[in-house]
Chains A and B, each alone.
Chain A
């Protein structure tokens, strides 16, 4: 038996163990530690942190907001990203290169710069509101900063490229003649899209959706700056527990609950879609 591959994989496995598995195990251990404001992190075993998360309406609201946000962002990314990828795949090579750079633009900019850019756009004195006021469409500024809408906008902006790239990869494998075949059999353009193109790019939509969902649910900087203190999501709450309240065990418990829910939803969606549309995935 050839052992070389195992040796070659060694450094990667070691890195994964040290930098991923170990911290996760430590975080898990931490999440079962007791905490008091007076003495900090104690020793022992307790499930208080989890009970608190499961029963305290404050945390439940934060979790609900986080996943509503992630689902909404994923939905909008599908709605925007799929047509965008299709158009992209039909462009001439020159136009496609230019368009691709534009699509990937948001990923090329630092998250802080990009998010602060959004605050310039979204604020009460921001460009969007000035235009709306000047055009007479509204009489007072529309509230966008520190709102759910604002967070959604900014997250969709940065996450759409993942959807586009993922769907685009699927489109590469699509035989354009299938569209012509459907057309010759009497299908309208809309029918060609819904019954021929969309089912064939479903694997791309699924993987793009999973990436977007996971990234949206764990996004920190955008909710922190655009959502602010009022609209907390799980990642900003974890940050606050660790660095504000210094309640590390609760922060660790929140992290693990977030991880488990994201994993559960991702794997569940993956299984469901793969079963439902089995033929496309083989």
Chain B
């Protein structure tokens, strides 16, 4: 049962298509991430839902009601902006109270709800501070409290972690996820960070060039990407262009293993770096280690092979398997291979 429905939503600026035919059904309480590179139309989509950008085509339905032509101020959605957009001339408490002021909530109830919202984001003691006296993470919490205090049906987040440093970002992600579960609010977040999308989202909406590439849960999208873009944007992937005929796949003159299916013709042959392993002798493919990089929890190898440069990652559990310049054999299981008809995905 869809709570928020985007039906064929599109936005065209003059001749430029920013978003084309975007359709999405969001269930109540779901956490959706709009993921994609910059310029893919994810922010424009969010702005259309928020009511700041009028769509050229399509409708937006919230809880069954058409809100496409409703002004932003009448939609009652909670929005956290990339810059947080706190009101610099108001205290934290006044910032949070603003939405309640606009709803003419009585003073007593207003004070209670502001305190409640600030407690929710652990900012109770800072109620009388001004935004400029807060750290980046604290500002973000204020922005969250300000958006949540009006009890919006949907929470919209525009790259909320963009301005935070890496460590704080991870903390805030976990906190945001917990908060979203606790409040149970339907959430749509825009991000260009695939790790962030995987951490937070129930479902990821992958966008590219104004169109939706794939909608799936993070694990599903990672394991079953529907195309070259999905496989390389979400995580790393080795992608070969090959030809499937009958039960064999030929890539650059080599026969590669796969679980034969009905797919025939021009295909992308995709295998993730962590699914590759070194083979003592032989292996499916032979190559030479061009570079080896230590990344803490794993090693990343760049291997020169007849099919091009492959990436292989190996978990850091003791000694690493090969050194730069070594000749190695590579092997992988056909179960971990995804074969996708080229040009099948949008």
Contacts and interface: CB of A to CB of B under 8 A. Distances in A.
Given A180-B52, A185-B98, A280 B150 contact: no
B103 A186 contact: yes
Contacts of A196: 87
B102 A177 contact: no
B122 interface: no
B224 interface: no
B89 A277 contact: yes
A180 B72 contact: yes
B273 interface: no
A184 B78 contact: yes
A185 B147 CA distance: 8
Contacts of B88: 178, 200, 279-280
B33 interface: no
B51 to A, nearest CB: 8
Interface in B311-327: none
Contacts of B71: 183
Contacts of A101: none
Interface residues of A, number: 21
A181 interface: yes
B102 A280 contact: no
Given A175-B85, A279-B88, A187 B73 contact: yes
Interface in B52-105: 52, 71-79, 81-83, 85-90, 98-99, 102-103
Contacts of A178: 85-88
Given A177-B81, A279-B130, A186 B87 contact: no
A199 interface: yes
B77 A280 contact: no
A178 B77 CA distance: 15
Given A181-B79, A279-B130, A191 B102 contact: yes
Contacts of A185: 73, 98-99, 102, 146, 150
Candidate in B51, B85, B150 with the most chain A CB atoms within 10 angstroms: B85
A184 B130 CA distance: 21
B52 to A, nearest CB: 6
Most chain B C-beta atoms within 10 Å of own C-beta, residue among A180, A181, A185, A191: A185
B40 interface: no
Contacts of A187: 73, 98, 102
Contact of A183 (B73, B89, B150): B73
B132 interface: yes
Interface of B: 50-52, 71-79, 81-83, 85-90, 98-99, 102-103, 130, 132, 146-147, 150
Given A184-B50, A279-B89, 4 more contacts: A181-B79, A186-B103, A200-B89, A282-B132
22 contacts: A175-B85, A177-B83, A178-B86, A180-B85, A181-B85, A181-B86, A184-B75, A184-B147, A185-B99, A185-B102, A185-B150, A186-B99, A186-B103, A196-B87, A199-B89, A200-B87, A200-B88, A200-B89, A279-B90, A280-B88, A280-B89, A282-B132
